[in-house]
Amino acid sequence: MRSRLNILNLFSILLSIVPFSIYLFIYPTMPRNVAIHYNFNDVADRFVDKSSPEVWLLCALSFIAFVIMLFLQPFLRRQFKSEESSTIMESLPGLFTLLITLVFSILGIRFLLEA
């Protein structure tokens, strides 16, 4: 069971690195100023330089979410602990970590591809 959690965490960390990889790959072709904020009409209303720390932060959101979920895993394990000790219940913290990391990776990738 412990190896399954490690595999899920490994997938999560690899997934959190994907936005950084895409950023480094498309950096030479990105415009000098990139949109960093959109209003409710989906119109860009704030622009920054493509090498701005804010762009790096948007790429790092998935990694930050992964680290937070990693620290929450012991708490989640206690919450999902059952008498039967089923495999699915024990793997839920790792699955939650993977899901949260996936959501923030998709957000970062979407931002980069629209830049």
Total structural domains in the chain? Answer: 1
Torsion of CA 38, 23, 104, 102, to 10 degrees: 140
Per-residue pLDDT tens for 4-48? Answer: 457 888 999 999 999 999 999 999 998 998 888 888 888 888 889
- Predicted TM-score (pTM) of the model is 0.79
Please tell me the number of Cα atoms within 13 Å of 82 on its side-chain side: 10
Domain housing 88: 2-114
